[in-house]
Structure 1
Amino acid sequence: MTIITRFAPSPNGSLHLGHALSAIVAHDRAKADGGRFLLRIEDIDGGRSRPELAAEFRADLAWLGLEWEEVRAQSTRIAHYDAAAEELKAQGLLYPCDCTRAQILAADPVIGPEGPIYPGTCREKHIDPHNCDGPVAWRLDVAQANRKTGPLIWEDELAGPQTARPEMLGDVVLLRKDPDTPASYHLAATLDDAADGINMVTRGMDLFSATHVHRLLQALLGLPVPRWHHHSLLLDEQGRKLAKRRHSPSLADRRLAGEDGRALAAALRAGQLPTGISCSK
């Protein structure tokens, strides 16, 4: 089997060392088996997406010495997401939700792997999405979906076989309230990986729990099931994951300052990290 991996950054901020590691892991995993490494720009993050950053990303990857094939950006796939959502609605597995973040937090929700778990407030409210005070999100009824599919298994290349437990994340949003950000990460990434023929999903351990939901969506929508490879994360001096929102030093700044990108990539491969950066267990 030809290994096909991908790197799928969002153009809402510059890439940092954590992104470099993720791209290198995906690139090297594919190239080691004579496979294909794809670049997909995930640009449906509403007004936060900055088209000019896609060119910056390409320059960063070339600076690191990576070779890739670029596939369609997410912004060209909206109709695909809508069609999949309609299919799930027809199965009776999505319900509209008009709850705000403040209302969810006020309900004292259980905290799951990705934060507060939605308490199911709107599940039985039978909201008419065409006759309500504002926009609605559409959530997946995970309990009903689990009954429909039965037990599911997925496999991580490092952690081994896993039993899917999407209920850990609760009834996740698949279609957002904001029309500028129509599909959630869970729906868009799952559909995109299937459309692009990805058979080895490489990404950081921070997305390990999301895979339980993605495996459920694959079963519900009749999509092929890849293997996964969740790699370690790079951490800052406070032990936090490197993040755009914390203004982690960018690859573009390093590149423009004249740093050797191929040497940096070699150091990351060897686990030789810059001062103040560590790797999660």
Structure 2
Amino acid sequence: MKNTQISASKYRGRFAPSPTGVLHFGSLVAAVGSYLDAKSNHGDWLVRIEDLDWQREVPGAASEILRTLERLGMEWDGDVIYQSQRSETYQDALDALNRQGFIYPCVCSRKEIADSNRMSVGGPIYAGTCLKNPAPISRPHALRIRTSNDRIEFNDILQGSYSQKLKDEIGDFVLRRADGIYAYQLAVVVDDAEQNITHVVRGADLLNSTPRQIFLQQLLGYPTPQYLHLPVVTNEKGEKLSKQTSAAPIDLSNALMQLISALQFLGQNPSLEMSEGNISSFWQWAREHWQADQIPHS
């Protein structure tokens, strides 16, 4: 399938945290990278709260994330979008895919799927059990999308060429879980299209998800943004910083040095004198000197 690449006169980027906890240094790097790439290109920077999975959401985390961004001097454009308020929009997209004949119910348990002898970097590859033997929809069921082995390929601004054959490497993936929660892959595609996002700057841990999202964009007739996948911050064990790996929250009492550290992690070279300035002067320098081609690949 051929990609329809977005062509727009104005850059529109976004930062889309999940409220599973407060911001840590890893999420700060993603925020700084997406913010600077947008602002250095005289574009808009939107904030979206990806709070679909209420079971993982920490009460008050969304508000705390927004307060932290404000205290860091990061100003977003337009209203903040909350995915939890957009279920009807996701269902409309799911219905459109169903009308094309791409959706089917799945009653397989996690254990049944995990017992599969086909594995990928993202976990077990679904064997298509319920596609071959249709499940009764009277039982609780997830909704999967039927994939193909047409190669999905794109050129990441930082990581270069990347491709997947979804059927062999990922399998038919879930768009709505059995508990009724819409999957990230569907929601992010619908939101990026509706918000006219032209550039997606995010962590390289999501590089593997991008072909699935491009596949959905193609089926739904959405344009494909430009992608730039940033290096992921890890701890001393090589694990991605997250709530699960006990990542420390951003120290707002020393906000300027946190921002400088994020800029250095992204391969930029702020002057030593910057630590003696303030957040306003930091952002002015960073916007004027941002060089995406200086970001390390990993």
Q: Same fold (TM over 0.5)?
A: yes
Match of residue 105 from structure 1: 114
Gaps of 5+ in 1: 274-278
Identity %: 35
Specify the alignment match of 2:65 in structure 1: 57
Deviations 1:2-53 (A, max 9, x none): 2111111111222211100000000000000110111101111123324511
Q: Is the 8 A contact 1:139 1:175 kept in 2?
A: yes
Partner residue in 2 for 1:88: 97
Secondary structure of 1:47's aligned partner:
coil
**Does the CA contact (< 8 Å) of 2:151 and 2:166 recur in 1?**
no
Letter matched to residue 264 of structure 1? Q
| Code of the aligned partner of 2:52 | I
The whole-number CA distance in structure 1 between the counterparts of 2:26 and 2:225 is: 23
Listed one character per residue, the Cα deviations across residues 46-77 of structure 1 (whole Å, up to 9, x for unaligned) are: 23324511110012112322121243210121
TM-score by length of 1: 0.87
Quote the residue 1:155 is aligned against: 155
Corresponding residue SS for 1:244:
coil
Distance 2:177 2:115 in 1: 20
Match of 2:33? Answer: 25
1:211 match:
210
Q: Secondary structure at the match of 1:139?
A: strand
Give the equivalent residue in structure 2 for 1:120: 128
Counterpart of 1:173 in structure 2: which amino acid? V
CA contact (8 A) 2:29 2:262 kept: yes
CA shift at 1:155, angstroms?
2.7
Tell me which residue corresponds to 1:136. 141
5+ residue gaps, structure 2: 1-8, 268-295
Read off the aligned partner of 1:52 and give its amino acid letter: G
* Aligned partner letter, 1:139: R
Alpha-carbon distance between aligned partners in 2 of 1:272 and 1:114, rounded to the nearest angstrom: 26
Give the aligned partner of residue 276 of structure 1. Answer: none
Q: CA deviation at 1:165?
A: 3.0
Q: Does 1:71 align with 2:80?
A: yes
Letter in 2 for 1:91: Q
Aligned to 2:281: none
Post-superposition Cα deviations, 1:110-139, rounded to whole Å, max 9, x if no partner, equal 22121111121111112231x23xx10011
Structure 1 position 174 matched with structure 2 position 168? no
Alignment of 1:198-277 (within 5 A): 198-251=197-250, 254-255=251-252, 258=253, 260-271=254-265
Distance 1:111 1:77 in 2: 33
SS at match of 1:67: coil
Output the CA distance in 2 between the equivalents of 1:222 and 1:158: 26
Question: Which residue number in structure 2 is paired with residue 39 of structure 1?
Answer: 47
Deviations 1:190-218 (A, max 9, x none): 11111111110111111101001000000
Cα-Cα RMSD = 1.9
Give the letter for the 2:114 counterpart. Answer: L
DSSP-derived class of the 2:129 partner: coil
What TM-score results when the alignment is normalised by the length of structure 2? 0.82
Residues 1:155 and 1:71: Cα distance change in structure 2 (over 3 Å): farther
| 8 Å contact from structure 1 (residues 41, 72) kept in 2 | yes
Letter in 2 for 1:248: A
Amino acid at match of 1:138: L
CA contact (8 A) 2:204 2:229 kept: yes
> What CA distance in whole angstroms lies between the structure 2 residues aligned with 1:19 and 1:61?
11
Does the CA-based 8 Å contact 1:152-1:216 persist in structure 2?
yes
Per-residue deviation at 1:101? 0.7
Structure 2 counterpart of 1:165: 165
Distance in 1 of aligned mates of 2:98 and 2:266: 49
Give the aligned residue type for 1:86: D
Q: Is the 8 A contact 1:200 1:227 kept in 2?
A: yes
Structure 1 SS opposite 2:175: strand
Provide the C-alpha distance between the structure 1 equivalents of 2:147 and 2:225, rounded to a whole number of angstroms.
21
